[in-house]
Structure 1
Amino acid sequence: MENKIVIYGAYGHTGKFLVAQLYQQGFKPVLSGRDADKLNALSKDYPDLITKVADINQPETLDKAFADAEIIVNCAGPFLDTAEPIIQSTLRLGKHYLDVSAEQKAVLDIFEQFSEQAKIANVIIIPAAAFYGGLADLLSTTLTKDWDQVDEISSYIGLDSWHPTKGTRLTGERNHYQRFMFENNSLQPVLEVKSKVWDFPEPIATQEVVTVPLSEIITISRHINVNTINTYLSQNSLTDIRNDKTPEPKAADEKNRSNQVFCMEVVATKGNKSRSITAQGIDIYAVTAPLIVEALKRILTGKIQKQGVTTLGEAFDATDFLNALDTDDIVISEIKETEIN
C-alpha cells in the first residue's frame, strides 16, 4: 500500500482528512500539490511520507509526481482549472483518477472530453466522488437498482450550518457557468429557483429548501434511466455560505471534524411507488474522506464494475459500498417504500 496513491492538494482542507484516514488505515500516500511550503508543513505530521511538488501548468512535473503510483486523487479546486491537466497526465501514464468536485461544468466536461480516451487507456476516472456528487449517486443507485426506468429522483440536503472553506469560496468565485437541471431525460438550463419545505431529522428539523443543481445531477444522469433529477439544499446553509463573515470550519473532535451536522435524503419514484433513504453524519468535508478511501480500496482490490469515466454508483456495488462505511463517519438508513395516492 506504500506510494500507490497520490493525493494532489494534500494540504487542503479536504485533502488533510483524506491523508489522515488513509494513513490511519496503513496506506502511505504520496503528498503532492503546487505549494512546496504547505507540503513541507504537512509532512511534519507524516515524516515517513514522500512529498512531490507538481504544478498544473507544468505537465512534466505532474508526470514525475504521478509516475510510480496507481491512483491519483485530486483534492485541489477549482476543478475547472485542475481536473483537465491532471487527467491528461493520468492518461499519459495509464493511472486511475478520482476527484471531489461539486462543480457541474467540471464534471460534465470530464465525461464529454475523456470518456473515449479513458476506455482506450483502460483506466478508471471518477469525478465528484465526494459528499456532493458521489453520495447522492450511491444512494440513488441503491434505491433504484431493480428499476429499469425511474420517473424522478430528488435529493434533499439539509445542513444545520455551512461554514465554507477557502477552497469553497474560491470555487464559488470561479464557477460562474450556467447550471443545469435534468428534466424530460435531458439536461436543461435552470430558469428558476424552486422552493419547498422539507422535514429533516433533528437537529436540522423543518427547513425551507431550494433548488441548487450540483454535480449529482451529472453523475446520476450518466447511468440511471431517469426522467427528472432534482437537488434541493436547505436555505439556511445557502445564507451562511453567501455571508462573507461566516467563518471557516473549526475542528471539534479527535478526527478534526467540525460540529456541523448534515442529512441527505434521496427520494425516487416510479409510477405509484416511492422509495426513500437517508444518510446522516458530521461535517460534509470530512465525510468525503471515507467515501474516497472505500473507492480506493475497491479499485486496488479489483472490485470494479466499469472502466472509463464513471461514477461511484456505477463503478461499484452501491449497496455493498454504503454498507461498508463506518457508522462513525456516516449512518445510512433502511430503504422505505410507500405507495403514492
Structure 2
Amino acid sequence: MSYRIAVPGAAGHTGRFVIAELERRGVTPVACDRTTDLDTALRDADAVVNCAGPFAATADPVITAAIRAGIPYLDVTAEIEVVTSTFDRYAGAPVPIVPAAGFFGGLGDLLATAVAFPGTERLTIAYALSGWRPTPGTRATGRVSAERRGGLRPVHSGGKLQYRDGAQPRTEFAFTIGTHPVVAEFTMADSATIPTHLDIPDIDTYMTTNAVDDLHAADPSGPAAVDAHGRSAQTFHIEVIASGGGKQRRIVYAGRDIYAITAPLVVGAALLILAGEGATNGPASLGARFTLDALVGPGRRQ
C-alpha cells in the first residue's frame, strides 16, 4: 500500500530530511507550509509528521487537525513544555499521538527503555557531540522555551520536573570513549517522554561543553552538508546508564548528524503505526510504543 504523509515544516532543515526519507521508502509526502490549509492537506493523508517549529505555536493546531482527519500525529519537537502539555491535553485522543519522535526526546527514550530494569532508581543520559551548528529552527525553539520558563531550567528529580535558577554546573563525564568536560543538568525532551511510561525518580543529563558552547555561539550559518544526502560531518555518541539496588546497566549508541537521524526515527514510527504496530490511540512516546531495534537497530549494551 502506498501511503501519503503530510509534513508541515517541509521546507525546513529537518523537514527536508523527512521528505527525502519518505520518498526513499516509497511514501508520497504532502509538503505543507505556514499558508497551507491543514484540513485540506490532511483530508487525503494517512498520517502527519509535524516538523514546523517552534512547536509551542504549531503542535496544538496540527494535532487538532489530525484528530479531525482521524489520522496519526507525530512531531519532532525538543521543547519540553510542548511534550508535557501534549500528554496532558490530548489524553484519550482518538488517534495515535507521538510527540518528540526525533533525536532529542525519541532516541534517548528508546535507549532508556532498552536499558532500564525493574528497580531502576536513576537514569544518566550523556551526550557527546563533535560539534553543534544549530539550525535557525533550533535557535528559535530555544528562545521560545527559555521565555516560557522565565529563565529557569528544568531538571527531572524526585519523580517530577522541577525548575531551578542559576547556571548549569560544569563537570566531567567518563564516557566509554574517554572523559570529556560536560555541562550537567542539560535537560532535553527525553526527560519529559521517559517519565510518561517508566517510573524512574531521577534523570541526570549531560552534554559535552563544546556542543553547548557552539549552541550559544553567534554563528548563524547552521549545519553544512558534506554528502549527497545533505548530512553534516557532525557525529554523536550517547550513553544511557540505568542504576538501582547496587545494579547498573549501560547502553551506547553512536551515529552521524542529529538532524538527519531524526528522519528515519519519525518516518519509521509513522509507518509502523500505519501498519498497526504501536498504534495505541492517545499520546505515547517512541519508547512506550516501540523497541530500539525496531527503529534504528541495537545499541551496544554493557
How far is 1:201 from its partner?
5.6
Secondary structure, aligned partner of 2:66: helix
Secondary structure, aligned partner of 2:207: strand
State the match for 1:306 in structure 2: 280
Q: State the one-letter code of the partner of 2:301.
A: I
Show CA shifts across 1:108-142 (max 9, x none): 111111113x1xx2x11000000000000000001
Secondary structure, aligned partner of 1:76: coil
Choose which of 129, 132, 138 in structure 2 pairs with 1:168: 138
CA contact (8 A) 1:155 1:231 kept: yes
| Cα distance between partner residues in 1 of 2:12 and 2:112 | 29
How far is 1:292 from its partner?
1.0
CA contact (8 A) 1:306 1:314 kept: no
Choose which of 157, 170, 181 in structure 2 pairs with 1:183: 157
Number of equivalenced pairs: 297
Residue 265 of structure 2 corresponds to residue 291 of structure 1 = yes
Gaps of at least 5 residues in structure 1 are 35-52, 55-60, 327-331, 337-341
Q: Percent identity?
A: 37
Change (3 A) 1:191 1:173: closer
Larger Rg: 1
Q: Greater RCO between the two (CA within 8 Å, min separation 6)?
A: 2
Gaps of at least 5 residues in structure 2 are none
1:148-163 counterparts in 2 under 5 A?
148-163=118-133
Q: State the one-letter code of the partner of 1:320.
A: D
State the match for 2:100 in structure 1: 128
Residue 122 of structure 2 corresponds to residue 107 of structure 1 = no
Q: State the one-letter code of the partner of 1:303.
A: E
| Cα distance between partner residues in 1 of 2:217 and 2:45 | 40
RMSD value, Cα? 1.8
State the match for 1:219 in structure 2: 193
Change (3 A) 1:305 1:8: closer
1:239-278 counterparts in 2 under 5 A?
239-245=213-219, 247-278=221-252
Secondary structure, aligned partner of 1:133: helix
Which deviates more from structure 2 when the two are superposed, residues 208-217 or residues 68-77?
208-217
CA contact (8 A) 1:198 1:209 kept: no
| Cα distance between partner residues in 1 of 2:81 and 2:211 | 22
How far is 1:189 from its partner?
1.4
| Cα distance between partner residues in 1 of 2:155 and 2:127 | 16
Residue 48 of structure 2 corresponds to residue 76 of structure 1 = no
CA contact (8 A) 1:259 1:283 kept: yes
Secondary structure, aligned partner of 2:204: strand
| Cα distance between partner residues in 2 of 1:291 and 1:162 | 20
Q: State the one-letter code of the partner of 1:99.
A: D
